Structure 1
Amino acid sequence: MKKSARSSRLLVAALTSTLLAAPLLPEMSHARTDGFKHYISDELTVPVRHGPGYNYKIRKLLKAGTPVTVLEINEEGWAHIQYPHKGKMLEGWVPSSLLSTQPAARQQLKEAQKTIKDLNEKLQQQNTQLTTLRAENEDLKKRLSEAQKQLFTLKKDYDHLVKTAGNAVRLDEENQQLKKDVARLEQENAMLKDQIAHSEDAMKRQWFLTGAGVLLLGLLLGRFFRLPQRRRSSWDEL
């Protein structure tokens, strides 16, 4: 039973490879492509034979999407390939029509899904970064608004200080001028006090002299008017 099943699988694979009429690599049918990487096409399995022909025994059935290295392609369109198997690199022959320069559709789908998954993860990361940046932007806007308010307040305070400082300078100048005026007035007051003192002394002396003159005049007048009375008295006594 096992031998018949294996024979059936090999027969199907052989028929499949025979029925493929149009080669996928016509430009390479008579060229050597040493080291050029290809892939088993989207067939389920492809038989790898010991030699370049259907009369050679099948050595291995490769699944679609298996990467192989084409060593050469002969004139009959058979490709000499190298493929991995259990950690080793084996060689065999397959029709070049069963090779493709692109990975199998399922492999491409897996890669596309992986790419989409990676892109979605990057998109999520970028969305998260965008959300963070937006939050930071809003925070910066608030801080900028607060800074502008503080700047406006500081500018008003500065203008007030400049105005106050200007007034202080003007007041200081006026104060200095007042001090000079006060010193001048104090000096004039001292001079006036001195003049008043001298004037009072002169007036006192004048009053003293006047009083003394009046007193002296009174004494003289008194003495003058008393002498005749005394004479009359003496005459009366006589």
Structure 2
Amino acid sequence: MKSLKVGFLMVLIGLLILPAASVAETVYVSEDFEITMRTGPGSDRKIISLVQSGKALEILEKGNEWSMVRDPNGKEGWVLNRYITPNQPCAMVLGRVRQDFDVLSAKYEDLKDNFDQLNAQKKATDADLSQNQKDRDELSTAYETLKKEAADFLQLKQRHKQVSADLEAEKTLSAKLDEENMQLKRSRIIQWVLTGGGIMLVGFFIGLFSSSRRKSRSSLY
């Protein structure tokens, strides 16, 4: 994290301190000291003001050794060229870069917090998805089991229905056979009764006939 911030800071500094062409040239008082602004291009000329390092000056007239400039307050005068530079002093660049860096760091922290929150939400969502998938698999397994059991139940129900129908048919047949058996028994009983009665009747007539013959024979003697 620290190395990333340092690298980013160096890139910003490098971009900001590169020389750039400008239509209205602006120069700056070079590093960490004050220079004199004079009424003319010479050290013997009267000092108008002291210009601190980092102050922006507008070039009005460019000379070999001295240049006429205007400060932000509108005051005009001459300064030595060796004390001015078209590039902002490193301290100013560094200060601005640090400000930009602080802003970017704050944005980075916000983004990092958002990323951490989103990552946490993603983990929670993944966990919910995994649990939902597990529940779905369990429901699918239970459904398949229930479907198989339902099919088995339907087959068993159909088998029970068939067996019940066969049982009713057997009961009907058994009742019919019982009825036929009872009728046969009645027929046999009647037959036995009739046969016995017939035999008794034949015996009665035979006995009666025999008795008549014996009486007839007795009368002859």
Normalised by the size of structure 1, how large is the TM-score? 0.62
1:100 is matched with 85
Aligned partner of 1:216: which letter? G
Question: What does 1:13-28 align with in structure 2 at a 5 Å threshold?
Answer: none
Q: By how many angstroms is 1:201 displaced?
A: 1.8
Q: Please name the residue that 1:217 is paired with.
A: 199
Is residue 76 of structure 2 the alignment partner of residue 91 of structure 1?
Answer: yes
Q: Deviations over 1:139-193 (max 9, x none)?
A: 826x645754564455245324313422321331243144234324423542443
Partner SS state of residue 179, structure 2: helix
Which sections of structure 2, spanning at least 5 residues, go unmatched?
A: 1-21
For residues 23 and 44 of structure 2, the distance between their equivalents in structure 1, rounded to whole angstroms, comes to 25
Q: Give the aligned partner of residue 16 of structure 1.
A: none
DSSP 3-state at the match of 1:60 = strand
Distance 2:101 2:132 in 1: 49
For the pair 1:71 / 2:22, whether they are aligned, the reply is: no
CA distance, structure 2, for counterparts of residue 105 and residue 161 of structure 1: 75
Deviation at 1:47, TM superposition (A): 1.9
C-alpha change, 1:45 and 1:147, in structure 2 (3 Å) is closer
Distance 1:70 1:149, change over 3 A: same
1:38 is aligned to 2:20: no
- Aligned AA (2:196): V
Retained in 1: the 8 A contact 2:38–2:49? yes
Cα distance in 1, alignment partners of residues 96 and 132 from structure 2: 57
For 2:169, the equivalent position in structure 1 comes to: 187
**Contact kept? 1:46, 1:63, Cα under 8 Å:** yes
2:69 equivalent in structure 1:
81
TM-score (norm 2): 0.65
Determine the structure 2 residue equivalent to 1:20.
none
Query: Residues 63 and 145 (structure 1 numbering): CA distance in 2 closer, same or farther, change over 3 Å?
Result: closer
1:140 aligns with 2:140: no
Asked if residue 206 in structure 1 is aligned to residue 188 in structure 2, the reply is yes
- The CA distance in 1 between the partners of 2:75 and 2:147, in whole Å, is 96
The amino acid across from 2:29 in the alignment is I
Opposite residue 165 of structure 1, the aligned amino acid is K
Cα distance in 1 for partners of 2:150, 2:207 equals 81
- Contact kept? 2:25, 2:86, Cα under 8 Å: no
Q: Cα–Cα, structure 1 residues 150 and 230, in superposed 2: closer, same or farther, change >3 Å?
A: farther
Equivalences for residues 3-22 of structure 1 within 5 A? none
Go from structure 1 to structure 2 and tell me whether the alpha carbon gap of 1:47 and 1:146 turns closer, same or farther (over 3 Å shift). Answer: closer
The answer as to whether partners of 2:37 and 2:51 remain within 8 angstroms in 1 is yes
Percent identical: 17
2:23 and 2:79 map into 1 onto residues whose CA distance is 15
Code of the residue aligned with 2:123 in structure 1: it is L
**Letter paired with 1:46:** I
Aligned length: 197
